[in-house]
Amino acid sequence: MAPVAVSPQASPVFKKRDGQALEELSDAIDEVNVLKDMKKREAEKKEAEEKGLYEESEFDKEKDKANFRQYEDANDRVKNFYQEQHTKQTVAYNLKARHDFHSKTRAEMTVWEAMEKLNTLIDESDPDTSLSQIEHLLQSAEAIRRDGKPRWMQLTGLIHDLGKLLFFFDAEGQWDVVGDTFPVGCAFDEKIVYGRDSFRDNEDFGHKIYDTKFGIYTPGCGLDNVMLSWGHDEYLYHLAKEQSTLPDEALAMIRYHSFYPWHSAGAYHELMNDHDRDMLRAVKAFNPYDLYSKSDGIPSVEELKPYYLELINEYFPTKVLKCTIYIFHNNAYGVSKYLLYW
Ligand SMILES: O[C@H]1[C@H](O)[C@@H](O)[C@H](O)[C@@H](O)[C@H]1O
Ligand SMILES: [Fe+2]
């Protein structure tokens, strides 16, 4: 189209309109800039947080790490626990445990109430603490906070063992709630606490499929498709996944923090996929806070409560933890759906 000359008389009218349009345009540009700025700051915050997440822990620098996880020197309480756990955690039991959750009804409670309920539970599998679980949770969270790690990681420390509530509802003992975890359905690895020999009375020991390197799994199938011995980690993972806004790294910390043969001893790595390899970094970053904070002072539950209540509210929008979770599982061992509650 040919250019059109604008007559000088027409200019006041257009000036007004153009002025308004210009103002609107400038407002829109401002808005875009504000949004851009916000995005940039969010990205910077995330980057700083990430850096913090993978930075080496500081709080444990002076501690003698050799004093922890000394299973050979442990007392009979610990040895008997693993004897029982390693005998009873079978493929059949694990399928049953997951199915059993289908028809049970349990309580509804806030995260803090759940923590308080753990004040009587002493973990029989643990050679490093005889404190109650609420104290262990606060020790972990406080160590993470002291090292200036992200808020979501502090909350992860605070709740990571909450799944031990299972003990008060459906457990057959502590052996199906606490202790290190390991896969069932493939060979028990020598790197599990007390080694393969400790599984000699397990009905899957020497099984023609379950006791082979990959058993019912395939190389690189991903840990999501691997059935870890049933206990508090898996239970809380599903709950937190459904009801919190915690990031994937936090969910992995919860789900795999007791899987020492994998995250600390290097076993079962052939089962991992790329996502698991990323998550392994996060679980390793979390581990010192869980383990080495056990020799810290005893925290004051009442003093710390206000800080952590706020943190809980930030990531659990429903405030009350709902009882029911449906989990869909379609994999080699054919569990199609099971249900978890508190
Ligand atoms: O995550 C920990 C860890 O695996 C300990 O070794 C075990 O004794 C605890 O029960 C568990 O909460
Ligand atoms: Fe744990």
User: Each residue of 200-209: pLDDT tens digit?
Assistant: 999 999 999 9
189 is in an annotated binding site: no
The residue assigned the tokens 């299972």 is 166
How far apart CA 155 and CA 140 sit, in angstroms, is 10
Residue 175 has which token pair? 């052996």
Q: What is the pLDDT of residues 89-137, one digit of tens each?
A: 999 999 998 877 644 656 678 899 989 999 989 999 999 999 999 999 9
Q: Where are the alpha helices (DSSP H) in 174-327?
A: 232-243, 248-256, 260-263, 274-291, 301-315
- Ligand 1 close to Cβ of residue 125 (< 6 A): yes
CA-based nearest residue to 214, from 258, 265, 272: 272
* 125 annotated to a ligand binding site: yes
Look at ligand 1, atom 11, and give the residue with the nearest C-alpha: 179
Q: Residue 288 CA to chain centroid, in angstroms? A: 14
Residue 140 has pLDDT above 60, yes or no: yes
Distance of CA 159 to CAs 133, 147, 197, 215, 246, Å? 10, 18, 33, 33, 11
pLDDT of 51: 62
Partnered with residue 230 across adjacent β-strands are: none
Give the rounded distance of the alpha carbon of 271 from its chain centre.
19
- For ligand 1, the distance from its centroid to the CA atom of residue 125, given in whole angstroms, is 7
Strand partners, 327: 338
- Find the 260 Cα to ligand 1 centroid distance in Å: 9
State which of 70, 123, 293 you would mutate to test the pocket of ligand 1, scoring each by most atoms of that ligand within 8 A of its C-beta.
123
What's the complex ipTM?
0.98
Q: Which ligand places an atom closest to the C-alpha of 260?
A: 1
Note the pLDDT of residue 30: 92
Determine if residue 232 is labeled as part of a ligand binding site. Answer: yes
How many Cα neighbours within 13 Å face the side chain of 325? 21
**Ligand 1 pocket, residue 150 CB under 6 Å:** no
Q: What tens digit of pLDDT does each residue of 276-327 get?
A: 999 999 999 999 999 999 999 999 999 999 999 999 999 998 766 654 433 3
> Which stretches of the chain are assigned E, i.e. beta strand?
109-110, 320-321, 325-328, 337-340
- Contact present, 289 and 143 (Cβ < 8 Å): yes
Is residue 107 within 8 A of residue 323, CB to CB? The reply is yes
For residue 194, the CA-to-ligand 1 centroid distance in Å is 14
Q: State which of 79, 80, 126 you would mutate to test the pocket of ligand 1, scoring each by most atoms of that ligand within 8 A of its C-beta.
A: 126
pLDDT digits 0-9 by tens, 217-272 = 999 999 999 999 999 999 899 889 988 999 999 999 999 999 999 999 999 999 99
Q: What predicted TM-score, i.e. pTM, was given to this entire model?
A: 0.83
| Helices of type H across the chain | 11-54, 76-88, 91-100, 111-117, 133-146, 151-159, 166-169, 232-243, 248-256, 260-263, 274-291, 301-315
Which pLDDT score is estimated for 52? Answer: 85
